[in-house]
């Protein structure tokens, strides 16, 4: 079993990129996170302060882990939702919940690996659902660099990707060296952020971020200016849309990520009059469930004041 074999298998199965790194402590990355947490920039995301040791060292999260296999899976859509001004949803939430879709595909990759190695004890699949520094491992695996907007950017494919990991008890060769930042002097993402959440290159204050405020934050939005939300009712893609590297983004080919006809057909009055029953039908298997019906209605009412 070689690293090259795993990477080639992942690409044949439809993953957009795959890399492998040795399981080690993320000392430099953890120091950056600790400083960010000390500044209180995480807002109400208290889960980021729990299990930090496991977050910084995968061997503490899953005993016996020796290698991390990281994959990218494209979610850039073929079409947009909303009228371009209001009632916009972040692109990653157009279709089915990515957690389940990507986990299922990664389990298939694991089964493919085990067809060569036999059943492996101590393997785990992670997709944004455990104390794992997702972007740090993607960088370690050579799949991109961290942009000034703090997203992972693949230099040839952009940043609209989900990240998944296999923790394996196998000694595998690292596939490449981490990539250094390639933003150069560009500050388009920082300049585009309407709420000032990107306070400086590589430094985001979640408490000002539209994505955080429309998804994670459960309080009132009355202290914010609805005009600065630019019509985003769930998540935000402004800093990614502004990134020049996303000129390379291609529409995804995943059927489960395509928005339903009913979702695409929603208009202003439909959103303003959205019922719980309609919400459940529209977002039955969607990441939008994270905000919940009441959260989305709060957001809709807020941006309608613009």
Catalytic annotation, residues: 128
Task: Count Cβ atoms below 10 Å from residue 31 Cβ, excluding itself.
Answer: 11
Residue 6 contacts residue 113 (beta carbons within 8 Å)? yes
CA–CA separation, 303 and 306 (whole Å): 5
Residue 55 contacts residue 106 (beta carbons within 8 Å)? no
- Between the alpha carbon of residue 38 and those of residues 10, 53, 122, the distances in Å are 38, 16, 33
Query: CA angle 258-259-263, nearest 5°?
Result: 175
Query: CA angle 290-249-41, nearest 5°?
Result: 45
């Amino acid at each position: 079993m070689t690293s090259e074999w795993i990477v080639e298998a992942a690409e044949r199965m439809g993953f957009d990129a795959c890399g492998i790194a040795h399981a080690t402590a993320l000392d430099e990355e953890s120091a950056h996170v600790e400083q960010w947490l000390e500044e209180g920039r995480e807002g109400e995301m208290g889960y980021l302060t729990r299990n930090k040791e496991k977050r910084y060292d995968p061997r503490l999260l899953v005993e016996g882990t020796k290698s991390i296999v990281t994959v990218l899976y494209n979610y850039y859509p073929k079409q947009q939702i909303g009228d371009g001004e209001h009632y916009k949803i972040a692109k990653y939430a157009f279709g089915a919940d990515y957690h389940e879709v990507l986990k299922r595909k990664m389990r298939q990759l694991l089964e493919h690996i085990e067809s060569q190695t036999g059943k492996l004890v101590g393997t785990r699949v992670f997709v944004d659902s455990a104390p794992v520094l997702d972007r740090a491992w993607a960088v370690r695996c050579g799949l991109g660099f961290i942009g000034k907007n703090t997203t992972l950017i693949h230099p040839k494919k952009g940043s609209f990707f989900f990240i998944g990991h296999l923790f394996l008890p196998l000694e595998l060769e690292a596939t490449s060296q981490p990539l250094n930042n390639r933003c150069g002097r560009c500050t388009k993402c920082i300049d585009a952020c309407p709420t000032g959440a990107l306070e400086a290159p590589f430094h985001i204050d979640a408490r000002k971020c539209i994505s955080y405020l429309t998804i994670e934050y459960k309080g009132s939005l009355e202290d914010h200016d609805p005009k600065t939300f630019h019509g985003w009712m769930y998540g935000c893609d402004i800093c990614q849309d502004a990134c020049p590297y996303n000129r390379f983004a291609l529409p995804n080919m995943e059927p489960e990520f395509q928005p339903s006809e009913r979702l695409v057909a929603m208009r202003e009055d439909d959103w303003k009059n959205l019922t719980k029953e309609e919400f459940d039908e529209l977002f039955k298997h969607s990441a939008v469930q994270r905000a919940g019906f009441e959260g989305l209605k709060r957001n809709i009412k807020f941006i309608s004041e613009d």
